[in-house]
């Protein structure tokens, strides 16, 4: 029986999606303002001698309000705006599901939206767990939101799809189990990939004349490496479960657990790369730059699986729009 689509809820979902995108963009701009201002010294001392009397003139630090500098206030506003945006974003997904009476991740538009929502939520949790160290880590906010804004813009334009019922092949409870696990792992790994990429930027640009100003504003490499590793540690077992659940669903739908479909193969390659990253991160001689490169390669494989395999390569998963 065809489930009727609630056009009103669908329109509200689209409106919430667009609102969340705008809020993410504004938060990214505020993070960029904080990032650019945080590199400037807060106090400059200038010594001037007049007539040999040893007069010392000191330039006062920037004004503070409630004990916080202006960049810090801007950064806190960016985090608050990001929190509001993720709530609106989650509301968009909930309204999308309510409009058609199914899980809101049955096509590329919905899938990307859910990934971005999880990525931002993961970032906020990581920021919260840092406690007092979160002030420095907050400078990564703009870099985390950049791929989110790009993905959501692509999802809301070229990949947008109207709400529609599930096709028979996808009408299974496994879409809730398998796809939600894949979404969660991918969103968390987005944060891990950004942290490793910035680790390499901070490592290789710190000595460059043009890049030193960029690298100097980033958190130290130890913090970046810790964020990348801890998020990957959380995501890896979820990704493992997603692959296993997909294999069980494949046996029920197609009669075999594994058929070397392009999406299955690419998911396995990503699993191997991330397993290699976690092993390298725990192995002396591979920590640091080599491990970070492996993590970046792993996220590149995830993006390849998300876009090229889903859109360009034909396979058993092609009909799913995922």
b/e map 91-125, b = 16+ CB within 10 Å? bbbebbbbbbebbbbbbbbbbbbbbbbbbbbbbbe
Q: Which structure tokens are listed for 158? A: 């070229």
Domain limits, the chain: 1-38+69-166
pLDDT above 50 (res 44): no
Query: Above 50 in pLDDT, residue 306?
Result: yes
pLDDT by residue (tens digit) across 259-278? Answer: 888 888 999 999 999 999 99
Q: Which ranges of 53-177 does DSSP label H, i.e. alpha helix? A: 70-100, 108-129, 134-137, 141-156, 174
| Residue 284's pLDDT band (cuts 50, 70, 90) | confident
Cα first-last separation, the chain: 24
Tokens of 99: 């409009």
Cα separation, 190 vs 299, whole angstroms? 7
Q: What is the pLDDT of residue 285?
A: 78
Q: Which long-range contacts (CB under 8 A, 24 or more apart) does 100-103 make?
A: 100/3, 100/5, 100/6, 100/10, 100/163, 100/164, 100/165, 101/3, 102/3, 102/165, 102/166, 103/175, 103/176, 103/179, 103/180
Whether the predicted pLDDT of 181 surpasses 80: yes
Per-residue pLDDT tens digits for 87-135: 999 999 999 999 998 999 888 899 999 999 999 999 999 888 876 556 7
Give this prediction's pTM. Answer: 0.85
Secondary structure of residue 104 in the 3-state scheme: coil
Q: How far is residue 118's CA from residue 120's CA, in Å, rounded to a whole number?
A: 6
- What six digits make up the tokens of 309? 């395999």
Nearest Cα neighbor of 288 from 198, 199, 194 is 199
Say whether pLDDT at 57 is over 70: no
Task: State which H helix or E strand residue 277 sits in.
Answer: helix 262-281
Check residues 47 and 168 and name the one with the higher pLDDT.
168
């Amino acid at each position: 029986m065809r489930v009727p689509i609630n056009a009103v809820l669908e329109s509200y979902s689209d409106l919430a999606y667009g609102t969340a995108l705008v809020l993410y963009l504004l938060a990214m701009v505020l993070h960029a303002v904080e990032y650019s201002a945080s590199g400037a010294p807060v106090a400059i001392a200038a010594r001037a001698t007049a007539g040999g009397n040893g007069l010392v003139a000191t330039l006062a630090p920037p004004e503070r309000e409630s004990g916080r500098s202006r960049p810090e206030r801007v950064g806190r506003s960016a985090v608050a705006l990001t929190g509001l945006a993720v709530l609106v974003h989650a509301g968009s997904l909930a309204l999308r599901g309510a409009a058609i009476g199914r899980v809101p991740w049955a096509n590329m538009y919905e899938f990307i939206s859910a990934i971005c929502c999880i990525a931002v939520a993961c970032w906020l949790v990581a920021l919260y767990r840092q406690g007092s160290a979160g002030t420095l880590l907050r400078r990564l906010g703009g870099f985390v939101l950049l791929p989110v804004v790009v993905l959501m813009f692509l999802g809301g334009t070229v990949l947008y799809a109207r709400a529609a019922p599930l096709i028979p092949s996808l009408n299974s409870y496994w879409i809730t189990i398998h796809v939600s696990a894949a979404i969660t792992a991918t969103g968390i790994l987005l944060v891990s990939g950004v942290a490793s990429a910035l680790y390499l930027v901070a490592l290789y640009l710190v000595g460059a004349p043009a890049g030193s100003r960029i690298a100097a504003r980033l958190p130290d490499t130890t913090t970046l490496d810790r964020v990348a590793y801890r998020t990957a540690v959380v995501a890896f077992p979820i990704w493992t479960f997603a692959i296993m659940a997909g294999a069980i669903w494949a046996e029920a739908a197609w009669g075999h657990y594994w058929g070397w479909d392009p999406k299955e193969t690419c998911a396995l390659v990503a699993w191997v790369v991330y397993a290699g990253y976690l092993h390298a991160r725990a192995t002396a001689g591979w920590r640091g730059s080599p491990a970070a490169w492996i993590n970046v390669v792993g996220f590149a494989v995830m993006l390849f699986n998300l876009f090229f395999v889903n859109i360009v390569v034909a396979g058993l998963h092609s009909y799913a729009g995922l």
